[in-house]
Amino acid sequence: MNHLYPALFLALIVLGAIILLIVSWREKKRQMVDKYLLEQKEKGKATESLMAWLDHVVPASLAQNEAEINQKMINAGVYSFAYSHLYLPLKLSVMLIGCGVLFFLFYVRMETHLIVTVSLLSCWVIIILIVPDAVLDARVQAYRLTISRRLPYLIDLIAVCVQTGMTIEASMSYLAKEMSGFDPKLAKLVSRTNERARIIGLDKALDELYAHIPTSEMRSFVMTLKQSLQYGSSIYETLVTLSSDIRQVSMLTVEEKIGKLAAKMSVPLILFIMLPIVILIAVPGVMRLMSGA
C-alpha cells in the first residue's frame, strides 16, 4: 500500500505535464490559425473539436493566451512587457515544482499523513493559480486610480495649451514630451494616445483611452474632447470647470471616507479599551465574592 502513494504522485505529475503540453499545443495552434487568417483575410467556420472542448474544461487561469496577458499588462501600466509568452508556462512550472517539493518534504521526509499532504498540495495549487492573477488585477485597479487622481493636472495643462492657440493634438504631443520628467505614467499614457491618434484618428484614440481607463473622470474628459472635435466649440472654460469638478468629487470622496472612519474605529475601541475596563472594574468584586464564599 505504501508503494501506491509514490506511484499516485508520479501519475499526478505526469497528468500535470500532459495538461501543460496540451495547453501549449493549443496556444501554438491558435497562433498559427490567427496568422493564417491574417494572411488569407478569410474567416472560416468554427468546428467542434478538442480545442473547443478545452475552452470549456480548462479554467481561465490556465487558458490565458499571450494577447490576454499583454492586455492585462497594458491595463496595469506596463506597456513594454516582452515575456508574456512565458507567463503561463512559468506559473505551471512553479506549481509542479512546488508540488514535488511539498510532497517530498511532508510525505517522504516528515512522513505526514496523506490527507494532510494532499491538503497542502491543494492549497499550493490554488495559491499559484489565483494569487498571480489577483495581484495583476490589483495592479490594474491601482494604476487606474492613480491616473484618475492625476487627471485634473493633465486637464489644466491641456486647457492652458488650448488657450494659447494650440490644437488638442498638438497639446497632447507637447505634453507627452514635457511631462515625462515629473510624471512618467501620465506622460506614457498621453504619448500612447497621441500615437494611436496618428494611426486611427483622435476620436477612436479617445475611445480606446476610455476603454483603457474606464472611470467616471476619464469618461467626462473623453466626452469633452470629443464634443469639441465634433462641434468645434471652445473647450477652455469647459476643461477648467471639469478639472474643478473632478477635484471637488475627490474631496467629497475623501470626506466620506473620513466620516466612515469614526464608525470603523468604534470596533477596536470596544474590543481593546471598553472590555478591558469592564473586566478591571468587575474582577475585584468577583474575587471578593469568591474569597468570602
Query: Residue 208 in contact with residue 230, Cβ under 8 Å?
Result: no
Q: Identify the CA nearest to 246 among candidates 218, 266, 204.
A: 218
Q: Which three cell numbers stand for residue 70?
A: 499583454
Q: How confident is the model at residue 80 (pLDDT cuts 50, 70, 90)?
A: low
Query: Residue 53 in contact with residue 26, Cβ under 8 Å?
Result: no
Tens digit of each residue's pLDDT (9 = 90 or more) over 98-147: 888 888 887 777 777 778 788 888 888 888 888 888 888 888 898 888 89
How long a stretch of residues is the chain?
293
Distances (CA, A) of 153 to 140, 156, 187, 261: 21, 5, 12, 28
Q: What is the mean pLDDT of the chain?
A: 79
CB atoms within 10 A of CB 160: 15
**Residue with the three cell numbers 494569487:** 131
Q: Is the pLDDT of residue 202 over 80?
A: yes
**Phi, psi for residue 236 in degrees, rounded to 5:** -65, -55
Q: Which three cell numbers stand for residue 215?
A: 472611470
Q: How far is CA 53 from the centre of its chain?
A: 28
Q: How confident is the model at residue 65 (pLDDT cuts 50, 70, 90)?
A: low
Q: What is the per-residue pLDDT for 46?
A: 44
Helix, strand, coil distribution of the chain in percent, nearest 5 = 85, 0, 15
